[in-house]
A and B are shown apart, each in its own frame.
Chain A
């Protein structure tokens, strides 16, 4: 079952779009590409001020008690404007892990700060190509964490991280305070993602879940984040489709707008199809949170959104011709973001496997 957005949800979409369009511009984002260790602070200030950090967290811990549908709407708009920081998604993932699997004390310690946005959360499960490694590269012994978590989005700025580690004979989901942890910035093609390698050396960490439950929990957190990211990707794809359409209407060649050539107009019509399929899957997945088929719905949303954003980035630039590859026009902001979002929360290869395991009845 899917849903239609109600009036309140539509208002969230309209208002967040208005605010972001007023406060985020490519001129502010472009220099960040050439700066390691910096993100777009006005974006993050806006997120905090507007309550987006609190949106999907429980009221008892300072949240607004809304859900994935509403956060997805914000993420969609953030995607349209090329979100200036990754913390909405990373903080949401960390907070949901603590909310669902933490003790009351852990919740009280971490959630209020994540809700206000004063504290930034990160999620560090991946080991290179493996989004959810069977043998994590971190080890947890006597509540002490060792090892290096590589390529953690938001890791340069995060105050805490939720990690998957090898515990005594079984995997462990744990939360770790990052104060004093060594962070090595990863110079990336999309630097405002604040990517870092986090090196833990007997760092105190608190267990959230162990054994099979830890893996299941980690997959669930990834799926929640994947649905948020899928909305962001869909927003990016949507705005690129619109930019391509607008350019094809105004740019003329051979005596007519280039949008009158079928090779161009069909390319844009195909983008429309990809965007609408992704949007439909996103709405469906967000509405399935807590249902038995949530992981399946999240995987479908993730796959179609990744395809939509990557394709829109390729084709929008192609339709622009020479001007499309200039630094100044900034379409490469989307092209870069399409790829960084495609990797965060597990690539298409990962989600294809998750999805097919479920469809074939082989789910763990």
Chain B
């Protein structure tokens, strides 16, 4: 067995042992507050067992291993339905960026350790009402205020802000220069005076995203994580980290086996739906797509193992998987006919077709919309021209609203 396989086996055994306490079954019927509390205990258990910050430096409480061990652990962890999503953003983007760009090392270390143990949660304050894909067009501003800064404006779609202790934020510090050049990156205390968090109820019924308002929120200059006007490149670093999160060829929806089982158990015109050509074609097409993504992802892992940089084809994962999941979920509901009306708002998107369908639009928008991803492939991978951008090179305050 290779070292990685040994690691996988050990992680799988540990996760198995945690499942009765923290897994899918243990979470059934819990309120969100109870589930979050369970999630914090699970995160602490991971930390104690050496599975938190797997690929982070040991000086910050991490394990000092590679991305491979991290992905290996994540793949095993995904099987059990643990309450880990409260920490997904926090440990995925803001805290790693804090490690890289935070100026006060002692402060950073304390925050990282608390975040790794589930005691503190960080959010990422990027999108705004005026734009999500057009990040550099943001309007929230920070003005000099004594030795520090004063923030005014509004962020939106901020995951877990209502549970967050801290956040990283990109704001406009200079509206007189072109939009990318007038941004600065800070961290903020989410409990500071003037910060108001208002949950947004999403179409699926849950409220994990928020509006966040900043009214004369005062911060000292040591909160700054980029040069003044150099915030956009730090934000891009965050988005680069985002590309390395765990992949799922099911688009974070149900496994295809569940669809096959449904088709076998459903009668269509008196015959099992699995014998119906329309159903068979969708199963076959989805299988071919998913097996392609699986192969892409395995090859990416092999390349990393060999010390190579994986190819750009990894960028297809979310684009291809989530929109396929959306259509397959619709078909699964078609298959159930009137039985498909029944809806459990607490059902898992990984197991329930209605929940998968209802939450699929979020997946096609969050973390880069389909259209943005296609643009990225066209421009960065294939070298096609950028779109026409009328605001290019124009000072931000002269762009027609």
Which residue of A is nearest B281, CB measured?
Answer: A352
Stretch at the interface among A26-34, A157-165, A207-215, A262-270: A262-270
Given the contacts A272-B377, A280-B293, A353-B280, A262 and B288 also touching, CB distance less than 8 Å: no
Do A280 and B280 touch across chains, with their CB atoms under 8 A apart? no
A278 contacts partner chain B, Cβ-Cβ < 8 Å: yes
Contact in complex: A2, B385 (CB < 8 Å):
no
The reply to whether B377 and A260 form a contact with Cβ atoms under 8 Å apart is: no
B384 to chain A: which residues have CB within 8 Å?
Answer: 245, 248-249, 259-260, 265, 268-269
Bound-state Cα–Cα, A272 to B378, Å? 9
**A356 touching B385 in the complex, CB below 8 Å, given contacts A266-B371, A281-B288, A300-B287:** no
B316 touches A277 (CB 8 A): yes
When the two chains form their complex, are residues A273 and B383 in contact, meaning their CB atoms are under 8 A apart? no
Is the CB–CB distance between A277 and B377 below 8 Å? Answer: no
Task: Indicate if the CB atoms of B292 and A280 lie closer than 8 Å.
Answer: yes
Q: How far is the CA of A321 from the CA of B292 in the complex (A)?
A: 31
Q: Is B49 an interface residue (CB 8 A)?
A: no
Between A256, A262, A299, the greatest number of chain B beta carbons within 10 A of the residue's beta carbon is seen for A262
Asked if B374 and A265 sit within 8 Å, CB to CB, the answer is yes
Among B287, B320, B386, the residue within 8 A (CB) of A359 is B287
Q: Which of A256, A273, A307, A355 is in CB contact (< 8 Å) with B385?
A: A256
Chain B contacts for A359, CB-based, 8 A: 256, 260, 283, 287
Q: Verify A245–B320 contact, CB threshold 8 A.
A: no
Contact status B375-A276, CB under 8 Å: no
User: From B319, which residue of chain A is reached at the shortest CB distance?
Assistant: A273
Residues of B within 8 A of A353 (CB): 280, 284
> Is there contact, CB below 8 Å, between A280 and B296?
yes
| A262, A265, A278, A351: the one within 8 Å of B292 (CB) | A278
Q: Which of B274, B281, B292, B296 touches A360 (beta carbons < 8 Å)?
A: B274
Chain B residues with Cβ below 8 Å from A301 are 288
Across the interface, A269 reaches (CB within 8 A) one of B281, B291, B377, namely B377
Residues of A within 8 A of B319 (CB): 273
Say whether chain A's binding surface is mostly helix, strand, loop, or mixed: helix
Q: Measured between C-beta atoms, what is the minimum distance from B215 to chain A in Å?
A: 38
Residues of A within 8 A of B375 (CB): 262, 265-266, 269
Contact of B382 among A2, A245, A281, A360 (CB under 8 A): A245
- Shortest CB distance A14–B (Å): 17
**Interfacial residues of chain A within 287-315, with CB under 8 A of chain B in the complex:** 297, 299-301, 303-304, 307
Does A356 contact B284, Cβ atoms closer than 8 Å? yes
- Among A256, A269, A277, the residue within 8 A (CB) of B296 is A277
Whole-angstrom CA separation of A270 from B374 in the bound complex? 7
**Nearest Cβ in chain A — how far from B372, in angstroms?**
11
Chain A minimum-CB-distance residue to B261: A360
Which residues of chain B are within 8 angstroms of A265 by Cβ–Cβ distance?
374-375, 378-379, 382, 384-385
CA distance A128 to B359 in the complex (A): 44
Measured between beta carbons, the chain B residues less than 8 angstroms from A256 are 385, 388
| CA distance in complex: A301, B291 (Å) | 9
Query: How long is the Cα–Cα vector from A265 to B291 in the complex, in angstroms?
Result: 26
Q: Are A245 and B383 in contact (CB under 8 A)?
A: yes
Stretch at the interface among B52-60, B173-181, B297-305, B342-350: B297-305
**Residue B313 lies at the interface, judged by CB distance under 8 Å to chain A:** yes
A280-B295 in contact given A248-B384, A259-B384 (Cβ < 8 Å): yes
User: Does A283 touch B at the CB level, under 8 Å?
Assistant: yes
List CB contacts (< 8 Å) of B257-301 with chain A. 260, 263-264, 274, 280-281, 283-285, 287-289, 291-296, 298-299
The distance in angstroms between the C-alpha atoms of A248 and B379, with both chains bound, is 12
Contact flags (1/0) for A200-235 with B, using CB distance below 8 Å? 000000000000000000000000000000000000
Q: Is B65 at the interface (CB under 8 A from chain A)?
A: no
Which of A1, A297, A360 has most B Cβ within 10 Å? A360
Known: A256-B388, A269-B377, A359-B260. A277 touches B382 (CB 8 A): no
CA distance A307 to B281 in the complex (A): 13
- Interfacial chain A residues near B401, Cβ < 8 Å: none
Distance to closest chain A CB from B383 (angstroms): 7
Q: How far is the CA of A270 from the CA of B382 in the complex (A)?
A: 11
Chain A residue at smallest Cβ distance from B259 = A359
Instruction: State whether the Cβ of B387 lies closer than 8 Å to any Cβ in chain A.
Output: yes
Give residues 155-211 of B contacting A (CB, 8 Å). Answer: none
Bound: A156/B296 CA distance, A = 40
A3 to B302 alpha-carbon distance, docked (Å) = 8
Could you say which of A297, A299, A304, A356 contacts B289, with CB atoms under 8 Å apart? A304
Seed contacts A262-B387, A355-B287; 9 additional CB < 8 Å A-B pairs: A245-B383, A260-B388, A269-B375, A280-B291, A280-B292, A284-B295, A352-B280, A359-B260, A360-B264
* 15 pairs, CB–CB < 8 Å, chain A vs chain B: A2-B295, A260-B385, A260-B386, A260-B387, A266-B371, A268-B382, A269-B375, A272-B377, A277-B289, A277-B296, A277-B316, A303-B285, A307-B285, A353-B280, A355-B283
B-to-A contact residues, CB < 8 Å: 256, 260, 263-264, 274, 280-281, 283-285, 287-289, 291-296, 298-299, 302-303, 306, 313, 316, 319-320, 371, 374-375, 377-379, 381-388
